[in-house]
Chain A
Amino acid sequence: MFKLLDGSQTLGRGWTFWSCFLVVLTAALIYPVFADSYDVGNFSYFLIWIFMALGLCLMWGYGGMLSFGQTLFFGISGYAYGVLAINMGGGSTTIAALILSIVIAMIAAGILGYFMIWGGINGIFFGIVTLSATLVLAFFLGQTAGPEWHIGPARLNGYNGMKGMDPLAVGDFYIEGSALYYFMVALIVIVYLALRMLVNSRIGNVIVATRENPQRAEMLGYDVRKYQLLTFIIGSGLAGLSGALYTSWGQFITPSSIGLPAAAMPIVWVAFSGRTDLTATLVGSFLLLFGFQTITVYSQQAALVLMGALLLATVMLAPQGFVLGVGKLVADRWTARRRRGASAALADASRLQPDET
């Protein structure tokens, strides 16, 4: 099963890549020892969004479905976590609330995806429909400020945002600060490795084949609709994971985390990073989030303008993504250097041969 970690659908393989992976992971694990708690909290915040980016990478880059609905499922799961955590009483039940909220987001994705995919919606129309659904949810939640909008004791609160839910907890131990950071790192490692195995598996082959030529894939006996739906549910479920973690992290969620500017962000992260590779998306999204947060401290508007400029630059200069382009360049140079080294060694050996005999 683990041999699927390397394959034709993912950049990076062999001991060099996995050594680098372990170095980065080790650095991530020892980071809280050296950083202050504010920075660790910030890093946890960046990591929250990575799941959403990886989900979009799977749908768009591998499956060819450009979904503007990542914040739709982020919102569904985020609000679901809030409602469930408040209604179930907090404490250890928050773990159940986390799982249930992701399941709810996946069920919603299954229903929306079924009607879109079985209805033959594809290409740009897939983006339009998912964006429309996202905006409908954002507008709906925006008008829930009145006291009549509540589910049990959980008030939705319109644009003021929903609050009062517990963070994730096991017994009396709240998963906050460094604990939350380690929880995020563990989840990212699991999700990243699982997605690598998925895209390099037989299912992954069909997902990519469907992106390339859905009619040909169907002519090989695959019901491409089922594979598209599966991809959409997994990708949207990952957005749901981001949403539930976000609400748990901040104990707060508002409709603005669903609306148009928020919905465009995952597209920018994934396009800039390189939508056809999970590693590029992971690294690129983290870098962009870090940069965005740093600039936001000075000016939120400037950060948004920069994101727009980056999207334009990506489309015009590196349509396959900047991080993926750099990654491929490094990989090609590394391979060429090793080949030159091997050729030189072979030439030396052949020169030595006459003397030895």
Chain B
Amino acid sequence: MALVDVKGVTKRFGGLTAVSDVDLTVNAGEIHCLIGPNGAGKSTLFKLIVGLYPPTKGAILFDSIDITEERPFARVQRGMSIKMQAPSVFKELRVRQNIQIALQKRFSDAKRVVEEDRLLTLLHLAPESGKLAGALSHGQQQWLEIGMALALQPQLLLLDEPTAGMSPEETFRTGELIKSFNAEGMTVLVVEHDMAFVRQIAQRVTVLHLGKIFARGNLEAIIQDEKVAEIYLGKTHAH
């Protein structure tokens, strides 16, 4: 069953068409990766889905409801949760307070503190909980933002390059974390460059090229596709 249905979406910036007549379906319960070379339109499509850009044409459905005109907060209230490409945290607030603000809608004070501790431990940020979020390393800020997104317990987790700036070990840990939440029923849509990370988590892949859908399917099929290898993976990586 489709949780997200992008129907014929186009986004133009003046004379530049960043996304052109794209159809994309993300099924409930899957980890769906959106890949493509630089300038393919991945991040633009991501921003269209989360509501940061209004589409020039087309419609976006979430759980069969048309959300094309809705602002990001309304989409989040419907069950989306978003992690942007660059770390986007409350830098002048403490790490725990960042998590607290994400959790406070769902929990009473006492239960919230327990959940804060659980998340901070899960994210390996418990020793840093009293620090200002801006004092964390880039990778830790990425983790913190992922934690804030997870704190909402969304139906759909949207991640734009979640492992940028992370070490290989941190990247692997992030992949395992995403897989564990997916195993509990969370649908995940990831925009990612790192093919090792995509291999680790992807169940279905969509390849964008020049703003259009170029290919889609499972990762193995995509890797075997000569045309995809040519435009993105490079022939030497195909096997």
Contacts and interface: CB of A to CB of B under 8 A. Distances in A.
A331 to B, nearest CB: 16
Interface in A206-231: 206, 208-209, 212-213, 215-224
Contacts of B100: 205
Interface string B95-109: 001001110110000
Interface string A172-192: 000000000000000000000
B76 interface: yes
B89 A213 contact: yes
A351 interface: no
A150 B91 CA distance: 52
A333 interface: no
B73 A224 contact: yes
Contact of B76 (A206, A208, A220): A220
B84 A209 contact: no
A212 B152 CA distance: 20
A213 B71 CA distance: 16
18 contacts: A8-B93, A8-B94, A206-B101, A208-B90, A212-B92, A213-B88, A215-B72, A216-B88, A216-B145, A217-B101, A219-B50, A219-B84, A220-B102, A220-B148, A220-B152, A221-B152, A222-B73, A224-B73
Contacts of A218: 71-73, 76
B222 interface: no
B101 A219 contact: no
Contacts of B74: 223
Contact of B104 (A202, A213, A224): A202
A217 B89 CA distance: 9
A69 to B, nearest CB: 25
A219 B94 contact: no
B77 interface: yes
B82 interface: yes
Interface string A8-22: 100000000000000
A202 B104 CA distance: 7
Interface of A: 8, 202, 205-206, 208-209, 212-213, 215-224
B89 A219 contact: no
Contacts of B152: 220-221
Interface in B87-139: 88-94, 97, 100-102, 104-105
Nearest to A226: B73
Given A202-B104, A205-B104, A212 B73 contact: no
B97 A221 contact: no
Given A206-B101, A221-B152, 17 more contacts: A202-B104, A205-B101, A205-B104, A209-B93, A212-B92, A215-B88, A217-B101, A218-B71, A218-B72, A219-B50, A219-B72, A219-B73, A219-B149, A221-B73, A221-B76, A222-B73, A223-B73
Across the A-B interface, the 8 shortest Cβ-Cβ residue pairs: A221-B76, A212-B90, A218-B73, A216-B88, A219-B82, A223-B73, A202-B104, A221-B77
Nearest to A216: B88
A215 B76 CA distance: 12
B154 to A, nearest CB: 10
Nearest to B52: A215
B222 to A, nearest CB: 30
A119 to B, nearest CB: 14
A125 B145 CA distance: 30
**Most chain-B CB neighbours within 10 Å: which of A206, A209, A220?**
A220
A202 B100 CA distance: 9
A248 B145 CA distance: 51
A221 B100 CA distance: 14
Contacts of B93: 8, 208-209, 212
Nearest to A221: B76
